[in-house]
Amino acid sequence: MTTPPPTPTAPLLTVRGLTVDFDGHPAVRGVDLDLHRGETLGLVGESGSGKSVTALAVLGLLPATARTGGSVRLDGRELLGLPARQLATVRGRRIAMVFQDPLSAFTPVHRIGDQIAEAVRIHQDVGRAAARRRAADLLDLVGIPDPARALDAFPHEFSGGMRQRAMIAMAVANEPDVLLADEPTTALDVTIQAQVLDVLRTARRESGAALVLVSHDLGVIAGSADRVAVMYAGRIVETAPVDELFAAPRHPYTLGLIGAVPRPDGRGGPLVPIPGRPPAAGEPAGPGCAFADRCPLVEDRCRTAEPPLTGTDADIGSGPGEHRAACVRADHLAATRPAPAEVYPVPALPAAVPRPRAARDSVLTVRGLTRSFPRHRGGLLRRRAGEVHAVDGVDLDVRQGETLGLVGESGSGKSTTLYEILRLAAPQGGRIELLGQDTATLDRAAVRRLRSRVQIVFQDPAASLDPRMPVGDVLAEPLLAQRTPKAEARRRVPELLRQVGLDPAHADRYPHEFSGGQRQRISIARALAVRPDLLVLDEPVSALDVSVQAGVLNLLQQLKAELGLAYLFVSHDLAVVRHLADRVAVMYLGRTVESGTAARVLDRPRHPYTRALLAAVPLPDPPAERARPRLLLAGDPPSPAERHLGCPFRTRCPVHPTLTPDRRTRCATETPPALPAAPGVDHTAACHYPD
């Protein structure tokens, strides 16, 4: 999508002074937007910024407790305050919506085909059979294989990517003028995200609709939007054409966001966290700029009045190409174009001086790990109905003081691998050696001693802390489990809180009284309580906002350097892995397909899967993102319930079809072993024909 020339025509959708309150708590505080025909507008912001509420308010889909003010006009016709029956004729017909979580957005008890056909029949006077045919065509349009059969599937029988495709099919069923997509790819894997964004582009092109793309992900926005609006605390703080916004942001918040995002290509220097945390939705705002408390460029006048969203003196004219920011320092930023690190304080991270790898002790060695789960059917007398091979040959090496990034899509067996390691028992197949001890040979006492040396930090800090336990008890629990005397465990609590940058006086508070980033710090403190050697980090930052995530990543790096920890860092986010990991292992269908030093694996990937994975990650850099070759993987990963002869990746492999027939036979019959790139080089790939 290239930037269209500024169109002189009247905008299709006009939002003016939109406000939304929930029980008197403002969530949106005066939003102005223009959307032109055929245009893609990216609406970006962190959780609680009001971006989704804005999108829902346009269609009047907010819950009854919300009070909406201002004006929303479609082709000049006011939508706010329209009677329900008239609004229903606009919804789905002129403006359609794609929701974030397609599992909960489809009614679980109705068939996919019926739900799409229903959307057709609400607005078009067609018969049952015709609507069904139309639904099949739509499913075909969004690339669902065998659409006629897919019509009869229930939502839970679809994969996440298929559901989101079906959701898009339903949205374009009546060829709407405006498509609102609220975080359409957030719940999806990166390769599936690339597919769905592609489908969204196709659907937009076919229906000629204008698109509002709501996302927290700057990369997604950079690759898809023509124009971007950045939201913070219920207001738009900056709006500009996409290239200009990323190249020369004029609001310190936008600048900070760009600086806080790790890049998968490893460029961009150290991460710059924005201090503090984003305000929660509905949090009362002071008289001044909502960002003032976190802003490094704050001045006295910022605290007295909220700056309006305006262009700088240098800009003349109006239209969609206009660049505006709500900051008193916008002129300064426009003139100097500083890098994020020049504006925000960059934390000084102690540099770890690792000894050469060979001289460091091994912390974790995994060889040929397998784990399969029986599938059962029936009630009282359960019968075995096959097996799911969740982990099917994983090799890992972690040495003291280093970070191994474990990368793979959902269903690749990453989490199962972690839990097998943490079980501290004999694995079903293969061998796990932890701190020099084979887990198959441990007795109960040894297991307990080893427990304190391996600890885990989970993905979702809200779920991994018992909501009913004060933080002091949370931190003392691992110590008590190790039979530390109660008094001593209590004494350690303030020390731990300090270690992760929290106030020791807050030990009496409950988890919900902390923000997401603080909760993840508590999880880290709990894991550190027993002074482990290895920390297993299961997606530790993926539930956090970008501006907060950088702070936690920096903390992890600092702790590693100070305490000499080793990390097993699991993530689906290659950019984060690129930033943190010393070595990387890539998993596909329960196997390690490529591993080696981060620089080698991520800069010179040998396995086609790693290449595809890297290609699917959107860059927060519009020109680079547009110039990047697109390498879409087809379909979903195959089911781990079937064992595959030969290379498990060949069904989706982009290289496989280009091979000569006899070479292809080899892929189909021989499982490729993991071989190093050259003797003695730390870089292996399990592919017959690596590049």
Partner 1 sequence: MTRYLAGRLGYYAALLTAAVFLSYALTGTALGPRAYFEAKQPRPSAAAVDRQLTALNLNDRTPVVERFGTWANGLLHGDLGRTIHGTAVNEEFGRRIWVSLRLLLVGSLLGMLLGVAAGAWSAVRQYRLSDRALTVLSFVLLSTPVFLLALLLKNGAIAAKNAAGHEVIPFTGYETPNLAGGIGTHLADWALHLLLPTLSLALGGLATYSRYQRATMLDVLGADYLRTAEAKGLTRGRALLKHGLRTAVIPMTTMFAYAFLGLFTGAAFTETIFGWHGMGEWFIQAVNEQDVNSVAAVNLFAAVVVLAAGFLADALHAALDPRVRTA
Partner 2 sequence: MSAELTAVAQQLTDEPVAPRGRLRLAAGRLAGSRGALAGLVVLGLLFLLAFVGPYLTPWDYAAPDYANLRQPPSGEHWFGTNGLGQDVFAQTVRGLQKSLVIGLLVAVLSTGLASLVGACAGYFGGWTDRVLTFLVDLLLIFPAFLVIAVLSPRLRGSGWIAFVLLLAVFNWMVTARVVRSMTRSLREREFVAAARYMGVGPFRIIWRHVLPNVSSFLIIDATVTVGGAVMSEAALSYFGFGVRPPDVSLGTLLAAGAADAPVFPWLFYFAAGLLVLFVLAVNLVGDGLRDALDPTAAAGRHRPRRRSRRRPTTPARRSTP
Q: Which residue ranges make up the site for partner 1 (CB under 8 A)? A: 56, 59, 61, 63, 84-85, 88-93, 96-97, 99, 101, 104-110, 118-119, 122-123, 154, 156-157, 167, 170, 377-381
Mark 122-161 with x for binding to partner 2 (rule: CB under 8 A) and - for no binding: --------------------------------------x-
Q: Which is nearer to partner 1, 5 or 379 (CB)?
A: 379
Nearest of 347, 335, 309 to residue 249 by alpha carbon: 335
Phi, psi of 390 (to 5 degrees): -75, -40
Binding to partner 2 (CB under 8 A) within 615-634 occurs at none
What is the pairing mode between strands 429-434 and 362-377? antiparallel
CB of 641 to partner 1, least distance (A): 14
Binding to partner 2 (CB under 8 A) within 367-406 occurs at 380
Interface with partner 2, residue 188, by CB under 8 A: yes
Nearest of 229, 166, 179, 228 to residue 208 by alpha carbon: 179
Interface with partner 2, residue 447, by CB under 8 A: yes
> 175, 207 in Cβ contact below 8 A?
yes
| 678 alpha-carbon distance from chain centroid | 35
**Burial environment of residue 650 by CB neighbours within 10 A (0 to 12, 13 to 18, 19 or more):** buried
Could you say which of 238, 402, 538, 636 contacts partner 2 (CB under 8 A)?
538
Could you say which of 3, 362, 365, 482 contacts partner 2 (CB under 8 A)?
482
Question: Helical H runs in 142-241?
Answer: 147-150, 160-171, 190-207, 218-224
Q: How far apart are CA 270 and CA 646, in angstroms?
A: 42
Could you say which of 12, 13, 18, 27 contacts partner 2 (CB under 8 A)?
27
Q: Tell me which H or E stretch contains 627.
A: helix 622-627
Q: How far apart are CA 619 and CA 608, in angstroms?
A: 20
Could you say which of 456, 568, 647, 687 contacts partner 2 (CB under 8 A)?
456
CB of 344 to partner 2, least distance (A): 16
Partner that binds at residue 85, options partner 2, partner 1, none, CB closer than 5 to 8 Å by kind: partner 1
Q: Which is nearer to partner 2, 143 or 282 (CB)?
A: 282
Q: Which is nearer to partner 1, 287 or 378 (CB)?
A: 378
Could you say which of 372, 415, 549, 592 contacts partner 2 (CB under 8 A)?
415
Could you say which of 55, 96, 281, 334 contacts partner 2 (CB under 8 A)?
281
Of the candidate spans 172-180, 261-269, 345-353, 497-505, the one that interacts with partner 2 by CB under 8 A turns out to be 497-505
> 364, 417 in Cβ contact below 8 A?
no
Nearest of 80, 74, 114 to residue 96 by alpha carbon: 74
Binding to partner 2 (CB under 8 A) within 503-522 occurs at 503-505, 507-508, 510, 512-513
Which residue is it, tokens 């474990």? 406
Q: Which is nearer to partner 2, 354 or 501 (CB)?
A: 501
Beta bridge partners of 508: none
Interface with partner 2, residue 558, by CB under 8 A: no
The count of chain residues that interact with partner 2, using the rule CB under 8 A, is 82
Q: Which is nearer to partner 2, 395 or 460 (CB)?
A: 460
Partner that binds at residue 110, options partner 2, partner 1, none, CB closer than 5 to 8 Å by kind: partner 1
**Burial environment of residue 628 by CB neighbours within 10 A (0 to 12, 13 to 18, 19 or more):** middle
Q: Dihedral of the CA atoms 278, 537, 632, 229 (nearest 10)?
A: 0
Q: How far apart are CA 80 and CA 356, in angstroms?
A: 66
Mark 209-248 with x for binding to partner 2 (rule: CB under 8 A) and - for no binding: -------x--------------------------------
